[in-house]
């Protein structure tokens, strides 16, 4: 977690916290932080304690625990971990995302990167393969799908497939459903909205859905970057892994990106977030543009 997203603490959560009059004890915070980092790589240093408390309140309320101690006793005893880890990770992950986030990357992709890959017959001799690694609710994957659908419109023999993966089961459900609040589609160009988004028939709903033809180009699945092997099939030509590794410390960043690189074709591309620098890591890549790397 970082300043990337506002803590998910609403007024009722805050009131519940007041009523409980409880804080997360030192020992419980430490063992939770250890559990979370070991399971998914996300660091929760002491400065994030209030944020962690805020996010856990939701679980306390759902499970009916009176305070954090009761929750931690449940989590760390008997079957607690097995039963609770998925929900714990769902509330702990920061899932902020946007359509056309960091738009310069999409210019690089649709310009230099696509031209180079297509020169090698990728996209025509076989479908171009892209991976939104840490896809959250799917905005990144569907942004790619809309742009590449435009490319297909111009060149009908061009084909592609996009894989989206995430550890958080809540966001994967949203991604699969592909329904978004209208306020989220602000960055989508008007022409694309007309081509690729369906407005809800119920005008009260203020929601849009990605059209079936674009949804069909994207698949989503659960993947934890801490796993030793990523079972995602063939190597990818383009990987977007943006605003994910900022939550990890250096050894985890090194290990995760090494594994991701093994899943990129030689000559394929890796995009990381604009605030993510890979200079301190040893990886089989060289820089092709700011925060864009080519697999060597």
Ligand X SMILES: C[S@@+](CC[C@H](N)C(=O)[O-])C[C@H]1O[C@@H](n2cnc3c(N)ncnc32)[C@H](O)[C@@H]1O
- Interacting residue ranges for ligand X, rule: CB under 6 A: 4, 40-42, 93-97, 101, 134, 136, 140, 166-168, 171, 223-226, 242-244, 247
Contact yes or no for 150/192 (Cβ under 8 A): yes
Q: Which is nearer to ligand X, 97 or 149 (CB)?
A: 97
- 65 vs 252, which CB is nearer to ligand X? 252
Minimum Å gap between C-beta 238 and ligand X is: 13
In whole angstroms, the minimum distance from the beta carbon of 157 to ligand X comes to 30
Smallest separation (angstroms) from ligand X to the CB of 205: 24
Whole-number minimum distance, CB 123 to ligand X, in Å? 22
Q: Which is nearer to ligand X, 145 or 168 (CB)?
A: 168
Determine how many CB atoms are found less than 10 A away from the CB of residue 259: 15
Residues 166, 181: Cα–Cα separation, whole Å = 21
Place of tokens 């009761």: 70
- Output the CA angle 270-98-145, nearest 5 degrees: 60
CB of 2 to ligand X, least distance (A): 9
| Shortest Å distance, C-beta 102 to ligand X | 7
Q: How far is the CB of 67 from ligand X (least distance, A)?
A: 27
DSSP state of 62: H
190 CB contacts (<8 Å, ≥6 apart)? none
Residue number with CB closer to ligand X (214 or 239): 239
H-type alpha helices, the chain: 11-20, 26-40, 49-63, 68-75, 80-92, 103-108, 114-119, 139-154, 169-177, 190-196, 212-215, 250-262
| Nearer residue to ligand X within complex by CB, 56 or 168 | 168
Total Cβ atoms within 10 A of residue 40: 20
4 or 207, CB closer to ligand X?
Answer: 4
d(CA 174, CA 207): 13
Closer Cβ to ligand X, 125 or 250, answer by number: 250
**Chain centroid offset of residue 128 CA:** 21
User: How is the beta sheet containing 207-210 ordered, strand by strand?
Assistant: 179-181, 207-210, 197-199
């Amino acid at each position: 977690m970082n300043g990337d997203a506002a803590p998910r603490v609403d007024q009722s959560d805050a009131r519940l916290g007041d009523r409980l009059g409880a804080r997360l004890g030192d020992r419980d915070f430490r063992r939770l932080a250890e559990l979370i980092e070991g399971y998914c790589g996300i660091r929760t240093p002491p400065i994030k304690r209030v944020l962690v408390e805020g996010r856990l309140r939701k679980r306390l309320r759902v499970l009916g625990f009176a305070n954090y101690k009761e929750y931690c006793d449940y989590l760390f005893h008997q079957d607690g971990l097995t039963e609770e880890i998925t929900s714990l990770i769902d509330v702990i992950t920061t899932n902020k995302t946007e359509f056309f986030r960091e738009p310069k990357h999409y210019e690089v992709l649709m310009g230099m990167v696509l031209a180079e890959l297509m020169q090698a017959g990728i996209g025509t001799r076989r479908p171009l393969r892209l991976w939104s690694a840490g896809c959250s609710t799917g905005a990144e994957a569907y942004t790619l799908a809309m742009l590449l659908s435009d490319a297909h419109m111009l060149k009908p023999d061009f084909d592609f497939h996009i894989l989206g993966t995430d550890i958080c089961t809540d966001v994967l459900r949203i991604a699969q459903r592909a329904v978004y609040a209208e306020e989220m589609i602000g960055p989508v160009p008007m022409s694309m909205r007309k081509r690729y988004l369906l407005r809800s028939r119920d005008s009260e709903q203020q929601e849009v859905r990605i059209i079936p033809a674009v949804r069909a180009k994207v698949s989503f699945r659960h993947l934890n970057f801490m796993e030793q092997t990523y079972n995602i099939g063939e190597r990818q030509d383009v990987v977007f892994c943006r605003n994910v590794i900022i939550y990890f410390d250096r050894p985890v960043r090194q290990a995760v990106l090494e594994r991701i690189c093994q899943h990129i074709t030689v000559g394929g591309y890796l995009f990381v977030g604009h605030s993510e620098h890979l200079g301190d890591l040893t990886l089989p890549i060289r820089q092709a543009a700011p925060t864009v790397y080519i697999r060597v």
